[in-house]
Structure 1
Amino acid sequence: MRLVFAGTPSAAVPTLRRLAADHDIAAVVTRPDAPLGRKRVLTPSPVAQAADELDLPIIKTARLDDDATTAITALGAELGVIVAYGGLVREPLLSAPVHGWINLHFSLLPAWRGAAPVQRALIAGDAELGASVFQLVPALDAGDVFAMRTVDVPADATADAALDALAIDGAALTADVVAGIADGTARAVPQTGQESLAPKLSLEDGLLDWTQPLEKVFSRFRGVTPEPGAHTTVEGVRVKILDAAPTAENPLEPGEIVSTKSTLLIGTGSAPLAVTRVQPAGKGAMNAVDWWRGQRSEGLRAGL
């Protein structure tokens, strides 16, 4: 089929590559170049870079406004495919392709509708993660579902690693649905089950509450890593926690910090969290034990 593809982050790249191998991609729609790094260098999105490698036409737009709608409609695509583009598809663009638009969403819908489904699922401690391909409708992630797949994700995977795994499986799932739409065999069914929402994360979502049990503290660490980043405060200074793991060590007081040869143990409401790498505000990433040795550590606690 003749497709238009919309996406922005690296999680959308596997689907673009998979569809480009089997279909005519009329254009790739992505967000404009964004400043990255300390030098704020304007950098194309991962999807734009992949589209360039595949020699596909690219439309860069921050939103699907009237100009973008006119340009995309003129392509004559039979189907639109969207994966984490970062903007809404509204009428009349929504109905422009004969088969409308389908969306690859990284949750088991109707669970975690919204911008941060993987992160919110990890924070909540969900036992399963998955991907859904559904018909795009005006309501948020509410369309009928063509296909859904539960994906095995390591129990300690952070959000970036979990999303990488979901992106690969989601690409195959989307390719199957597009093939079914092309040959007329695809069928979508209404969503069933309990709806939950997954709004975009803020910096405050990364703040760890050491009074909670270790399971909840580690779940939040997984969900907010790498962005917006798990963090705590020590003497009022924000410290980002880059690498951490649960332990079966004897309990410490919530926020109490004990140094071993290789890790810092920080007390929670149950067993301690083992922290191996940190990034204090205004500094680079460093070994957690080395950072702690440089502090006036007696009596200091996390979260204070």
Structure 2
Amino acid sequence: MRLVFAGTPLAAVPTLRRLAADHDVAAVITRPDAPLGRKRVLTPSPVAQAAAELGLAVLKTARLDDQATTRIAALEAELGVIVAYGGLVREPLLSTPAHGWINLHFSLLPAWRGAAPVQRALIAGDPQLGASVFQLVPALDAGDVFASRTVAVGADATADAALETLAVDGAELTAEVVAGIAAGTAKAVPQVGEPTIAAKLTLDDGRLDWSEPLERVYARYRGVTPEPGAHTSIGGIRVKVLEAAPSTAQRLAPGEIAAAKTAVLIGTGTGPLAVTRVQPAGKGPMNAVDWWRGQRTEGLRAGA
């Protein structure tokens, strides 16, 4: 098929590469170059970089406005495919390709419609993660679903690792749907069940509440790592929790801190969380035990 592809982050790259191997990708739409790093160097998106490697035409735009719609319409694509582009597709662009647009979304719809499905699913402690390919409609992630697939993700996977796995499996799922559309055999069915919304994460979403059970604290840590980052306040200083895992060590009171050989233990509502790497405000990442040794530890508690 003749396709137009829209996407921006690294999670969209496997789908672009997979579709480019089988179809005519007329153009790739992505967000404009963004400033990255300490020197704020303007850097093309991962999708823009992949498109350049594949020799594909690239349209960089922050909004799919009238000008972008005109340029895309001129491509005469049969199908639009979108994966985490970061902007809305509205009419008349929504109906411009002959088969409209399909969207790869990293949740088992109708669960977790919105900007942060993987993160919200992990925070909620969902037993399964997955991906869905659906027909794009004006309402948020509400279109009929062509296919969904549960994806095995490690029990300790943080959001970035989970998304990496979902991106690869989702690319294959999307390729199957596109092949079905090309063959005229693909069928989409309405979503069934009560939707949940995956709102964009804020810094406050990363705050760890040590009064919660260990499984809830750990689920939040996984869901907000690496962005916006799990954090707590210790001695009035915000400390980012970079690496952590549940511990079977002795129970500590919520927020109580104790040093172990290879980790700093912080009590939750049930068992302790073993923290192995931290980043105090204004400093770089460091070994948690080394950091704790350098503190005046008397009376210090997490969350205070």
- What TM-score bracket applies, with the shorter chain setting the length? over 0.9
List per-residue Cα deviations over 1:102-149 (Å, max 9, x = no partner): 000000000000000000000000000000000000000000000000
Give 1:76 shift: 0.7
Alpha-carbon distance in 2 for matches of 1:35, 1:47: 16
- Aligned to 1:104, the other structure's residue is in SS state strand
Give 1:297 shift: 1.0
Percent identity over the alignment is 79
Amino acid at match of 1:51: A
Alpha-carbon distance in 1 for matches of 2:88, 2:81: 13
Alpha-carbon distance in 2 for matches of 1:177, 1:63: 26
Amino acid at match of 2:54: L
- Gap regions ≥5 residues in structure 1: none
- Aligned to 1:295, the other structure's residue is in SS state coil
1:289 equivalent in alignment to 2:289 = yes
Alpha-carbon distance in 2 for matches of 1:20, 1:111: 29
Amino acid at match of 1:138: P
The corresponding residue for 2:221 is 221
The corresponding residue for 1:36 is 36
Give 1:248 shift: 1.7
The corresponding residue for 2:63 is 63
The corresponding residue for 1:114 is 114
Give 1:223 shift: 0.2
1:269 equivalent in alignment to 2:269 = yes
Give 1:16 shift: 0.2
- Aligned to 2:254, the other structure's residue is in SS state coil
Give 1:294 shift: 1.1
The corresponding residue for 1:79 is 79
The corresponding residue for 1:8 is 8
- Aligned to 2:113, the other structure's residue is in SS state coil
1:202-221 matches, within 5 Å, as 202-221=202-221
Alpha-carbon distance in 2 for matches of 1:266, 1:37: 32
Alpha-carbon distance in 2 for matches of 1:72, 1:286: 48
Give 1:260 shift: 1.0
- Aligned to 2:283, the other structure's residue is in SS state coil
The corresponding residue for 2:184 is 184
Give 1:67 shift: 1.0
Give 1:74 shift: 1.0
1:69-148 matches, within 5 Å, as 69-148=69-148
List per-residue Cα deviations over 1:231-282 (Å, max 9, x = no partner): 0011211111100001122210111110112100000001000000001111
Alpha-carbon distance in 1 for matches of 2:32, 2:273: 40
Alpha-carbon distance in 2 for matches of 1:258, 1:218: 18
Amino acid at match of 1:146: F
Alpha-carbon distance in 1 for matches of 2:302, 2:32: 39
- Aligned to 2:114, the other structure's residue is in SS state coil
- Aligned to 2:296, the other structure's residue is in SS state coil
What CA RMSD, in Å, does the superposition of the two structures yield over aligned residues? Answer: 0.6
1:241 equivalent in alignment to 2:241 = yes
- TM value normalised by structure 2: 0.99
Count of matched residue positions in the alignment of Structure 1 and Structure 2: 304
- Aligned to 1:181, the other structure's residue is in SS state helix
Alpha-carbon distance in 2 for matches of 1:139, 1:81: 17
4+ aligned runs moved over 4 Å, structure 1: none
Alpha-carbon distance in 1 for matches of 2:105, 2:228: 20
The corresponding residue for 1:258 is 258
Alpha-carbon distance in 2 for matches of 1:249, 1:41: 45
Alpha-carbon distance in 2 for matches of 1:67, 1:241: 44
Alpha-carbon distance in 2 for matches of 1:26, 1:237: 51
The corresponding residue for 2:154 is 154
